[in-house]
Structure 1
């Protein structure tokens, strides 16, 4: 299982870089991803879009996609408002 640290600002600038990084991991056979949100204080719709697309790919490969250490209340609120807290496994 690969643990990936999400940046402080997971927005447009970082999102495309992370999309490529995560997709490269999947292409190389990694289908079990764990995303560490302990440093993340902001996520926008682009960041959410990356998570959704990577989640779908992991799901298609019968892999796992887990978010953990969402310590920032604003970030957690975004997941709840978009109801993605019901989609993703958050620990």
Structure 2
């Protein structure tokens, strides 16, 4: 999985995974988030618009990031996937009741 990282002046890190976010790619994403959190980052926007597949392992990584960011007095916002199946799984699991999920990165950034 390719990942694009961007940091904004307000200390918000935008993470944009591309491709499948599943049992094979989730461990490397978890390591990336661990590194960012260890470096003091605590505000994240995870832009899921470019993922092609999402499974429970990828979702567990997102929940872990949310918990750890909030523990560090930060937060995690998500951008809805474009892929219909990925969007549906987030609705079915009620992720939109746990995370603030927006249509675009710009909107998510303004939520901080």
TM-score when normalising by structure 2: 0.77
The structure with the largest strand share of the pair is 2
Mapped partners of 2:66, 2:95: distance in 1: 11
Q: Which has the higher contact order (CA 8 A, sep 6+)?
A: 1
Q: Pairwise CA RMSD of aligned residues?
A: 1.0
Are positions 1:44 and 2:68 aligned together?
A: no
Mapped partners of 2:31, 2:98: distance in 1: 22
Mapped partners of 2:94, 2:85: distance in 1: 14
Matches within 5 A, 1:1-91: 1-91=12-102
Pairs aligned (count)? 91
The gaps in structure 2 that reach 5 residues or longer are 1-11, 103-112
